[in-house]
Structure 1
């Protein structure tokens, strides 16, 4: 059985309108078949079946408003297979019906784990993890208190299947940023754990358990986990980022685009998969991003720029209109690139550089050069 949840279409909206539901309860569907069409103020999207199966527990109808993260339906192998909601899904469904205060997915799951009635917690706006922990009299570090890390990891993996589960590859500083970006900007996703290949990897990161090394990928996929995010920045070694991204694709994972809610991305911008756009970044009209790019904090990517696969624009880089950045290239902090300049593949542009003419493949511009 695999659960399909209502996805987020716009980082600033936690509700969408259900425009069309072309399936019905008990109907057999194929992988890729449209289950429903959703609309936000900025986008319209079809939700497709991630696998073949029978539509069960269909929880939406045409014309209604649906909460991001609430169950859309389950897909079962047979028409008679029992269907059970997890505690987090039950909480999300209750929120959708208006029985409980609005809460983030992680807050709802935490409240369920501690048997906390959300209606007893004083709050303004949407309840967060911090609200639940404050109610319990615990700090952020106590997030996993009821269970040890190994037990929690096993529990998370047991319920890890479904469209909302995501695993992070890498357990360093960049992974911390990715965790926060998912928690703040993708409330429809649930981080079930971290994979890291270093022998001295930590036991947890910001309350998320480190499950083990890449040998666990196959087991996660078997449990229905199909989403992953790359938590490796490797600013001086973009070829490594490209290699790890390819590894995730070979393992069968999909990499969603992660956009911080305080980033500004125009609706005409186009992007592949696995891109990460940090807080304060501006991605302007008709920009095209490839796969696995990093648009770091306070970067400005002006109109009609093309940023190729695995490129990394580091904090504060400024790109004028029509700039092209080749695959695996790095643009350093505070660097500026003039209108229409082409930067080749595997180029390193040093911090504070001012680029006024095209750069050849593998060229290195030292910090501060013009």
Structure 2
């Protein structure tokens, strides 16, 4: 397999891939100054044939841009063996689940998501494509998270909340009401402080 993205997040992804028994051929990264990361070679263009890839870029918008290029990639999913995962979890390609994560019954997780260290996702949540759930985030049951949203470290979301597309939820925020598309929310209780365009 190849990892697309050779920065800090890529280092974490590499170690999870190793833990899952994958053989990493190389990183792919467009930065010509990068030559080796964690003793793996960095190449600057993808091979011109079908390869197994996980996009190891933390930025949600950049991950989507890579996917939209339509490269010859077969996307894999990485599930750390020390995550606690319901047998009724549905999870799509290109997503990574990191150590210490707990995901309960009837959760649906989309494509190319990051479910980061020690996050907790309770029953019946829906996580759309390109979402990043940061370390120690807690989502109660029946939470909906729209495409491309980033929920910051240590944030908490009460049950039944809907969070829109391409939102930013600040670190430690407590979300007790629905969040519109493109909003940035901080604080306890969470308040919208700005909104941005959904153009990717």
Question: Structure 1 length normalisation: TM-score?
Answer: 0.50
Structure 2: gaps of 5 or more residues: 191-200
Q: Which residue of 2 aligns with 1:133?
A: none
SS of structure 1 residue aligned to 2:100: coil
2: CA distance between counterparts of 1:300 and 1:279?
A: 11
Is residue 2:47 matched to residue 1:217? Answer: yes
SS of structure 2 residue aligned to 1:254: strand
Is residue 2:4 matched to residue 1:172? Answer: no
Q: 1:353 aligns with which of 173, 176, 179?
A: 173
RMSD (Å), alpha carbons: 1.2
> Which one has a larger percent helix, Structure 1 or Structure 2?
1
Is residue 2:62 matched to residue 1:227? Answer: no
Is residue 2:128 matched to residue 1:315? Answer: no
Q: Which residue of 2 aligns with 1:207?
A: 39
Correspondence 1:282-293 to 2 at 5 A: 282-293=102-113
1: CA distance between counterparts of 2:54 and 2:165?
A: 23
Q: Which residue of 2 aligns with 1:338?
A: 158
Q: Which residue of 2 aligns with 1:240?
A: 62
User: Is this contact kept in 1: 2:176–2:189, CA < 8 A?
Assistant: no
1: CA distance between counterparts of 2:174 and 2:83?
A: 24
Q: Which residue of 2 aligns with 1:256?
A: 76
User: Is this contact kept in 1: 2:175–2:188, CA < 8 A?
Assistant: no
Higher alpha-carbon Rg: 1
Task: State the shift of 1:368 in Å.
Answer: 4.7
Question: Structure 2 length normalisation: TM-score?
Answer: 0.91
Question: Could you list the runs of 4 or more consecutive aligned residues of structure 1 that deviate by over 4 angstroms after TM superposition?
Answer: none
2: CA distance between counterparts of 1:183 and 1:168?
A: 12
Deviations 1:57-102 (A, max 9, x none): xxxxxxxxxxxxxxxxxxxxxxxxxxxxxxxxxxxxxxxxxxxxxx
Deviations 1:162-197 (A, max 9, x none): xxxx11111101111111001002x1x311111100
Q: How many residues align?
A: 190
Is residue 2:116 matched to residue 1:296? Answer: yes
User: Is this contact kept in 2: 1:351–1:368, CA < 8 A?
Assistant: no
Structure 1: gaps of 5 or more residues: 1-165
2: CA distance between counterparts of 1:301 and 1:246?
A: 28
SS of structure 2 residue aligned to 1:182: helix
Q: 1:329 aligns with which of 125, 143, 149?
A: 149
